[in-house]
């Protein structure tokens, strides 16, 4: 049995999902066109800071919090009709997470190239 590497999984995900820049994401947030979702671990947020206006959904809970049939569904937390813009620290976890949401049936999904590192260099405010 051949096991796919994590890099292979990320490469495959990147072929199927939309990747946007931090600047594109900033414009979408300002225009109220998306849900900005930070999937980093809570310890990362505490250490590095948070993006103002972002919703924090830990990677391990993402599919459960966005599944209306799940007991963990966060009703009203996000506008499910808007694009889901995901980011992590560097862009690898968010690529896999975006692919997972696409597999669930979400159509408007993207992730931020370069993750939090790119966001820090953009117009987003870190709190």
For 100-122, write each residue's pLDDT tens digit: 999 999 999 999 999 999 999 99
Torsion, Cα of 52, 17, 64, 6 (10° steps)? -100
In the predicted structure, residue 1 carries a pLDDT above the cut 90? no
Tens digit of pLDDT for each residue in 14-59? 999 999 999 999 999 999 999 999 999 999 999 999 999 999 999 9
**pTM score, whole prediction:** 0.95
Distances (CA, A) of 92 to 47, 56, 60, 117: 19, 17, 14, 12
List the domain boundaries for the chain: 17-120
Domain 17-120 has CATH 3.40.50.11540: no
């Amino acid at each position: 049995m051949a096991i796919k590497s994590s890099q292979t999984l990320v490469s495959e995900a990147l072929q199927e999902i939309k990747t946007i820049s931090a600047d594109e994401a900033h414009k979408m947030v300002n225009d109220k066109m998306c849900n900005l979702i930070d999937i980093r671990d809570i310890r990362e947020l505490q250490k590095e800071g948070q993006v103002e206006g972002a919703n924090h959904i830990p990677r391990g809970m993402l599919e459960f919090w966005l599944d209306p049939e799940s007991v963990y569904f966060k009703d009203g937390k996000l506008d499910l009709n808007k694009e889901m813009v995901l980011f992590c620290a560097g862009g690898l976890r968010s690529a896999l997470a975006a692919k997972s949401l696409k597999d669930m049936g979400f159509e408007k999904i993207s992730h931020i190239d370069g993750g939090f590192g790119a966001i820090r260099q953009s117009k987003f405010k870190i709190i």
